[in-house]
Structure 1
Amino acid sequence: MRILLFTGKGGVGKSTVAAGTAALSASRGLRTLVLSTDAAHSLADAFAAPVGAEPTRVAENLFVQQVDAQRRFEQSWADIQGYLLTVLDVVGVDPVAAEELTVIPGAEEIFALLELRLHASSGEWDVIIVDCAPTAETLRLLALPEALGWYMERIFPFGRRMVRTLKPVLSKAAGVPMPEDTVFDAVQRLHGELDEVRALLSGPGASVRVVLTPETVVLAEARRSFTTLSLFGYRVDGVVANRIFPDEGGDAWRSGWVAAQEKVLLEMEQSFAGLARWRSTYRTGEPVGVEALRLLAEDVYAGTDPLAEPSGDGPLRVERTASGAVLSLALPFVTKGEVDLKRHGDELVVTVASYRRLLSLPAGLARFRVSGARVEGGALQVRFEETAT
């Protein structure tokens, strides 16, 4: 099964490109599902068809879903929310305000990813295409499973044991009820589901495709997205430059835009060398409906396979050496001064700008010491050597 996630800065046309790719996939006889994790659902508008909370057939082999976040919320978060509401009630928070405070930020996107997990395990689909939220929200969302995993492995077991042992004392001291086992079970279940999502999206059959428009600010954000997605272990398989003005002559205004876009497009080619790079020309009308979207995708991919699985080992790899090993983490566009690296026990803490990743070292590396690190060729390389005895 092939999983493709489309992301990009808001307004670049990622939903249109995602929908077009889905329409092209279905036209090739592949049973295709396209779903939206963007709170501002626009797939129904793109396909000019009513779309429900369950997969809705809009053409042969093509199904669209706009996830019912409320239903998934009730399934995955209700026990946790119930406990939080009880605590807020005890401390006197207004019930309406409490209801809002207990909804986690980005909940709709998170529960849409849990829906993706269910579809991926169902065996019903050949291709699943995800229309993600704009870039910043997508990056925070894809970092969540690993962050929650760190908490679950190190803090959660201790907290659960402490609450179970000292519950009467803690309740009296804190003045609020302590969580029941059902709350801990719900947190553990949510972690397990998100961990499955992470494994699915960082696996060999999944990749992220970045959509941009040929503008300097948009290109800069696309480069940062590539870096951050690689940092968290997600493959980027290509970029789509959308809304390119055709060079057909005309007035000075059009010629100015064409020249400015060409400059940015040249930078894009240089920035993403090694990845697939596709272009989509600005059309005279908005592509709406299955056939118009399919034709758009035909032009964009121009005879290449839009569903080809990414090659290579992915952003993270470990190679053994005579004295130890070298861990390489792809960090495109990053210089040495922009990376902070620390070792904390069996973990490497890698920080790039405002994003931090905790890499749990495999047993084979955890017993080695870090002997050096460098940033070279768009990758962080960390050398490990066996500790002298």
Structure 2
Amino acid sequence: MSPARTLFVTGPGGDGTSTVAAATALAAARAGQAALLLSAEPPARLAALLGADPGTDGPAEVAPGLTAVRVDAADRFRAGARAAQRHLRPALDAVGAVALDDDELTELPGAETAALLTALFAAHAADPGRLVVVDLPPIPEGVRLLALPAQLRRYLRRLLPPERRAARALRPLLAQLAGVPLPGEGLYAAGERWDAGLTAVDGLVAGPGAAVRLVLDPGERSAAALRAARAGLALHGIPVEAVVANRLLPAGSSDPWLAGLADRQRAVLDALTRSTGLPEPHQLPHLGRDIGPAELAALAVPPPGDPDLAEPVLEDRLADDGLLVWHLPLPGATRDELALVRRGDELIVTTGPFRRALPLPAALRRCTVAGAALERETGELAVRFAPDPDRWPERALRDVGQPG
């Protein structure tokens, strides 16, 4: 069975991400792929772009082969809060608490992230065969949203390790031996449900069928945001499928000011491609007016393609210089925004505003960090490891290059 396909679209705020997301979903539908657009844009904005407000109750057809859902974070938050209050009603009554009314519930920070991920899971559960195009929040929030399921899984596994959940039958004995109460059965059961749910969502966000399409209005501010996003996505193992340069001015204008601005836009794109290894941008013209259904249909946005993703590589240089080198692709990263910390069996890597704890391969767990270097041309971080004599028996040589 082929993996569920998800294409996330993000870019700096105000650069036309929602327009490109809608145009991408429409291009996929025209190419014969059933597509669903998920967007948290306000109703008026979506209605102007698509020609109709798709609503929040379920997929509404907005073009042949294309359905859309408007994700209302406030509505989903209120529904979740009402459900939680109903579930906790006995406890709330016992302490004399007064339930919050619907009209006084306002969404908290992070509600849009939760709503989009919930809507994505529901969309693939309802129809695993269609392409889901997700109009993400702007960079860097959009990249953090994609990293969230894996981060939450890591936190959960640290707080409720799987091996402890698997040994629930021994809990009464352990409690007697330790002399302290252990977490209740309900907590372990909840941990298993949370882990299963996060694993499913993480598969949709960072699995083999997921990719990102980046959008920018070519300027230095937007290019800097895309460089950081490129490194952050590579750090989290999420491939970039395409780059769309939006609102390009025509070259060769008779107006010197417009001609200079058009030249600067193309210079920004050339520098961005060279410094990040991003695909050659698809270029969309500046229409000089708001985008409606007719303009959306005329945009030459390509349908989703197949992305490439460089994987980490472990190089064995023990015979030559007594080192193992872990090559981590981080295109777009810069030395002054890069940090590394070894913590137990993990390497915590920070690039710009993004951070990830990477599990070390088995052989590297028996080593100490000997140094690191960032290759600017390739955007590759090479981390050097030296074997720890106290943890490096001869038989460990057979584990070199094996996953942990």
Relative to the length of structure 2, the TM-score reads 0.76
Change (3 A) 1:270 1:14: same
Distance 2:325 2:124 in 1: 33
How far is 1:340 from its partner? 1.9
Q: Provide Cα deviations, 1:25-54, integer angstroms capped at 9, x if missing partner.
A: 111221111112x46464333111120221
Equivalence for 1:176: none
1:39–1:108 contact (8 Å) kept in structure 2: no
How far is 1:282 from its partner? 0.6
Counterpart of 1:350, as a letter, is V
Counterpart pick for 1:317 among 305, 312, 318: 312
Equivalence for 1:374: 373
Is 1:279 equivalent to 2:283 in the alignment?
yes
1:369–1:386 contact (8 Å) kept in structure 2: yes
Q: Provide Cα deviations, 1:186-229, integer angstroms capped at 9, x if missing partner.
A: 56534432332223222232111110001111111111111112
Alignment map for 1:359-370 (pairs within 5 Å):
359-363=358-362, 365-370=364-369
Distance 1:182 1:58 in 2: 44
Is 1:17 equivalent to 2:14 in the alignment?
no
Change (3 A) 1:384 1:258: same
Q: What stretches of structure 2 of length at least 5 have no aligned partner?
A: 394-404
Equivalence for 1:175: none
1:7–1:134 contact (8 Å) kept in structure 2: yes
Q: Provide Cα deviations, 1:299-352, integer angstroms capped at 9, x if missing partner.
A: x44xxxx322112xx354233526485433222232444322122111111122
Equivalence for 1:338: 337
1:231–1:315 contact (8 Å) kept in structure 2: no
Alignment map for 1:12-51 (pairs within 5 Å):
12-36=15-39, 38=40, 40=42, 42-51=45-54
1:6–1:209 contact (8 Å) kept in structure 2: yes
Counterpart pick for 1:55 among 56, 59, 64: 59
How far is 1:62 from its partner? 0.7
Identity %: 35
How far is 1:58 from its partner? 1.2
How far is 1:249 from its partner? 2.5
Change (3 A) 1:267 1:258: same
Change (3 A) 1:100 1:355: farther
Is 1:229 equivalent to 2:233 in the alignment?
yes
| 4+ residue runs over 6 A deviation | 80-87, 89-94, 158-162
How far is 1:243 from its partner? 0.6
Distance 2:185 2:100 in 1: 24
Equivalence for 1:307: 304
Distance 2:136 2:14 in 1: 12
Distance 1:7 1:81 in 2: 37
Equivalence for 1:350: 349
Alignment map for 1:1-389 (pairs within 5 Å):
1-36=4-39, 38=40, 40=42, 42-53=45-56, 54-69=58-73, 70-71=75-76, 74=79, 78-79=83-84, 104-156=108-160, 185-186=189-190, 189-247=193-251, 249-289=253-293, 292-296=295-299, 298=300, 300-301=301-302, 306-311=303-308, 314-319=309-314, 321=316, 323=318, 326-363=325-362, 365-376=364-375, 377-384=378-385, 386-387=387-388, 388-389=392-393
How far is 1:57 from its partner? 0.9
How far is 1:94 from its partner? 10
Change (3 A) 1:331 1:269: closer
Counterpart of 2:32, as a letter, is G
- Local SS of the residue matching 2:208: coil
Change (3 A) 1:91 1:47: same
1:206–1:309 contact (8 Å) kept in structure 2: no
Q: Larger Rg: 1 or 2?
A: 2
Distance 2:88 2:155 in 1: 19
Equivalence for 2:398: none
2:324–2:384 contact (8 Å) kept in structure 1: yes
Distance 2:146 2:91 in 1: 30
How far is 1:78 from its partner? 4.9
Relative to the length of structure 1, the TM-score reads 0.78
2:19–2:49 contact (8 Å) kept in structure 1: yes
- Local SS of the residue matching 2:304: coil
Change (3 A) 1:276 1:116: farther
